Structure 1
Amino acid sequence: MAFSCTHLSHASENELFEVLGTPEIELLVRVDGAPLQNGLPTQRVKAAEWVEWVDEDDEEIRSLDVGESFLQGEEPKVLAQLGTLRVPETIFTDSFDYCIDLWRVGCMCDGRTPCARCKSLNTPCLRQIRAIEFRDQGPALRQKYRSTSQPSSRLSPVLDREGDPPLRSIRSNVQYLPVAFPINEKVSHALSVTAVSSLQTQVFTNFVLSAFPCYFKCTETQVPVNWVEYVENRRGTNSCFDWALRACTTSFAGAVHSDQRLLKEARVMYIQSLRSLGGLLSDVSTAKSDEALATAITLAVYEKHHCTDADSWLKHASGIRTLMKLRGPSAHLHGFGCAMYVAYRGFLVTAALISGEECFLQEPEWQALNEEIAANNAKLPDSSLYTDVVERGFLEVLKIPGHVKQVRKLLSLSSEERARRQPGVLRSVQAARAALRGISTEFGISVSMRRAGQDARQSFIGPSPHFFLDGYSTLFASGVRSGLLILNQLVLAIDRTQRASLELECQLLSGDSCSSSASSEGSVIRPLTPPDSPLAPQLVVESLITPSYRKPPTTDWMDHIAGTMGMDGVRVSLLE
């Protein structure tokens, strides 16, 4: 855990060691006995540890290093940066080998004079730091000393076997890095395009890691081309997708800096993208392109954060559904089409629930697509029991809108017709609930196995830190519970004799009454239909993607909806 102390001189050595632990200093020597090369320290400080630290997951949190600053004008000419520089930085890992101390070396130069714009707005200035040459010597050193080092799956390269899919887990290094957004009150959106294009990839990366941190980091290697790679390869044009992209990144920068001018510029870019997209959709051949679908998805994400109209994102979702069906399932198995499908499929479940329709993804050809994606992911080196359970869980969750529609239709029938159809509908809902219960149990076991270290070979590996994976696991489990709550309400709406057992199960799932979901603070849980009520129960699906519930793009609100497979985008209640 790296941290800063602005008045370190006020603390005595004993007071400092009380907090950090007494340091242990050891000599740095090579395992082969040869002398150290220039640039390596002769000693190092071992990480401090707290013996009394207790946590349910037995996490180890240790102070890795104490850095030293230098004055402006006295910066070294060359710095060997052996690790990614991110200050402050928190690192969670299964174990420490004390080599991480050397790989996380870096410095940050401060003392710059803020630019005039940041002075006037009284905001932190993020303009570029004076150029210092950084040399990443880590890969070269690891390659040079691999033969004398202990084998490590984290460092050793793995070659593709013939017939295996590409090792996507080692292809990218997506990181959040602060950037200055070059726009002010004197520059129109048209004049700023050239300047923005040079920073577009990093600003978009920051947006993705703010809005979809867990979902993106845990799926980025499961698709042939992820979103950041697709944006990087474009390098900025004036297409409808790039206007949509700029709308998202500019609004994100506006939210970061609390700058209303940037938000207004983003709105202009959004309208420009909509107009350009209309031309693309006028031709069937271009309407099937990745460009058209990527633009529609990006505009839909913008709409969720800004809600230009109460149901505007649903209109985009309807268009996305139409484009996907026009393209067909096979267009979403390979290339960037797969990334677009994986990114937006949870929102299609949300839209189906709100619209009162079945989700088209439950059709056999789309079910086959999900199964093939899961099979391809199982062949990846960073695959695990998690990825398999998550894919099978989504296959069950996407059927929930269809069950809701089926039960609503049943409740609207006459008594005689309802009595005739009720047993079949009840069996269908109970079968779905049993399948989702099995997914929940299996996922819980896989989580326990990883935490107990019993699944070392099949645990998550690759570039994703554990806190992303744990966050993603939490969101998935929450989505499964919300799905079970909805299915329980459907059973209760059909068969009131199960009320007592269902209410108990709902309380165990949510800690509250039998009402799903994702909710905001202060939300009101609707009452259940009383057992002796003569009125038929009514299912109410409330959208949680509205102007009242929306959150800015600097939050992980979208991550929660995507990670819960769309379940955090709605609240389903059973009313009398």
Structure 2
Amino acid sequence: MFFHNIFRFGEGFTFPDWVMRNFGSKHYFDASVLCLSTKYLAYLTKNPRLHQLSQHIYSQALGEIRKALSSDEVSSDSLLVTVILLSFHEMDTRTTRDAWLYHSRAVKQLMLKRGIDSHLSGAGRVCHFAYRPFIIAAAFCEGESCFLDEDDWQKLASDLRTEDSQKHGEWSFYVSVYETIFMELVKCPGYVKEARKIGTVTSINTGLLAQQIRITCDRLRILSNELRSMLASYNQRKDGIIFERFVGPEPNAFPETSPSLLLGAAVSAISILEQLFTRLTTLARSQETPSTSSTSQSVNTPDGGGQLLDFHFACELGGGTKKDISHSFTWLDRVAGSMGMLGAEINYGNAVEGG
């Protein structure tokens, strides 16, 4: 499903061509390509020996990467691509449950070290587009904010939005709203992190966080409605029905594309953030009621410390929700299209529900 974004990679750039041109240049890069190629061949042939060989090559690649991380290769395109490829390998293989997160942390550090400008063109640009959904997912899974919500990276998204929305391509029509939704989604892991940190409803941070969540919810709702109308209009044109504006009822579902998966991510994010907002504001109001209220008693934490909201974030990539076996071959594409939020949900504990 990445083909919906191919026009954004740059004129004449294709990732397979880049891989072929650079194969044979670095041991760690070659090992990562062979690892995934062998794994794919094992998938096609159902040959367990090929799967074992893939794991052996994977171990070799890890050893070569450790050497490269302490060399002048640390800012190279080849090393960033290599770590991303091995992260994809772990997302599917799960040598250990959280192994992909170790690779994701490495990707984050490499991107930060390389700086913004190295992701404006070439392989760096493709790596940014290809891996940013998994950076969001990793932030959620680790309970951290996402570095892509920082001003410099938000400006990168804004610049790419301006540039790509002006390109000629079948899917360029959605870039502006697509990137704007992305720029809102990357804020969500930070909201979840801050909600977990709140220990008392009297904190000034509680009201501020609730306000920020409400603003993002409102923006995402407007943007998702716009994207839904654009997709409906696009499908109408594909059916040969030409109007300046969409005419007729909007469908409840669309064919799976990057934009339609992003729409699902926006809807999931709205649901999650609305739940957080409701609980934050409900707990704040309950604190204003007489102390005899059972709700008021349930939200007090010892000495004003501890965790006020007890909840767990889950998504398919994090292993918290069931992976859709029927889409196993395109699973990571679907995770990417949904900006890492495929199957995202929040499960609340007894501390919240018992009020």
TM bin, normalised by shorter chain, reads 0.7 to 0.9
CA contact 1:396–1:432 (8 Å) conserved in 2:
yes
Partner residue, 1:219: 5
Structure 1 CA distance for aligned equivalents of residues 98 and 208 of structure 2: 34
SS of equivalent to 2:346: strand
The residue that corresponds to 2:288 in the other structure is: none
Tell me the residue number matched to 1:341. Answer: 128
Match for residue 555 of structure 1?
329
1:450–1:456 contact (8 Å) kept in structure 2? no
Aligned to 1:47: none
User: Which one of the candidate residues 435, 443, 453 is aligned to 2:227?
Assistant: 443
- Per the TM alignment, residue 469 of structure 1 is displaced from its structure 2 partner at its CA by 7.2
Deviation at 1:340, TM superposition (A): 0.5
Pick which of 238-247 and 423-432 moved more.
238-247
Q: Aligned pair 1:566/2:340, yes or no?
A: yes
Q: 1:447 to 1:545 in 2, by over 3 A?
A: closer
The answer to whether the Cα contact below 8 Å between 2:137 and 2:317 also exists between their aligned partners in 1 is: no
Partner of 1:309: helix, strand, or coil? coil
SS in 1 for 2:6: coil
Q: Which residue is 2:155 aligned to? A: 368
Deviations 1:423-481 (A, max 9, x none): 2221111001001001111101112222333778999xxxxxxxx97533331111111
Choose which of 49, 54, 74 in structure 2 pairs with 1:261: 49
Does the aligned pair in 2 maintain the 1:296–1:319 contact within 8 Å?
Answer: yes
**Partner of residue 20, structure 2:** 232
User: 2:6 is aligned with what amino acid?
Assistant: E
1:178-193 aligned within 5 A: none
The answer on 1:541 being equivalent to 2:310 is: no
For 1:492 and 1:540, how far apart are their aligned partners in 2? 16
Partners of 1:533 and 1:397 in 2: CA distance: 34
Distance 1:482 1:498, change over 3 A: farther
Greater CA drift, 424-433 or 547-556: 547-556
Give the structure with higher Rg (CA): 1
> 1:203-258, CA deviations, whole angstroms, 9 ceiling, x for partnerless residues?
xxxxxxxxxxx1x1111121123322212323555621121111111111111211
Judge conservation of contact 2:104–2:138 (CA < 8 Å) in 1.
yes
Aligned residue type for 1:371: S
Q: Indicate the residue corresponding to 2:96 in structure 1.
A: 309
- Deviation string for 1:339-374 (max 9, x for gaps)? 011000000001001111110001111011111111
Aligned length: 319
Deviation at 1:532, TM superposition (A): 8.6
TM-score (norm: length of structure 2) = 0.82
Change (3 A) 1:372 1:354: same
Residue 543 of structure 1 deviates from its aligned partner by 4.9
Deviations 1:392-438 (A, max 9, x none): 1111101100111122222x23x54x3x3322221111001001001
Q: Report the 3-state secondary structure (helix = DSSP H, G, I; strand = E; otherwise coil) of the residue aligned with 1:220.
A: helix
- AA partner of residue 126 (structure 2): A
CA distance in 1, matches of 2:324, 2:25: 29
**Relative contact order (C-alpha < 8 Å, sep 6+): which is higher?**
2
The 8 Å contact of residues 39 and 50 in structure 2, kept in 1 or not, is answered as yes
Q: Does 1:483 align with 2:269?
A: yes
- Aligned-residue offset at 1:310: 1.3
CA distance in 1, matches of 2:43, 2:297: 49
How high is the sequence identity, in percent, across the aligned residues?
25
Q: Distance in 2 between matches of 1:473 and 1:406?
A: 29
Point out the structure with the larger helix share: 2
Q: Which residue of 1 aligns with 2:210?
A: 426
CA distance in 2, matches of 1:542, 1:388: 29
Q: Secondary structure of 2:97's match? A: coil
The CA RMSD over aligned residues, in Å, is: 2.8
| Structure 1 residues 298-352: Cα deviation after superposition (integer angstroms, max 9, x where no partner) | 0000000101111111111111100000001111011110001100000000100
The 8 Å contact of residues 304 and 550 in structure 1, kept in 2 or not, is answered as no
Cα distance in 2 for partners of 1:228, 1:472 equals 20
**2-structure distance, mates of 1:338, 1:455:** 35
Conserved 8 A contact 2:268-2:344: no
Distance 2:196 2:64 in 1: 40
TM-score by length of 1: 0.52
Separation in 1, partners of 2:130, 2:38: 21
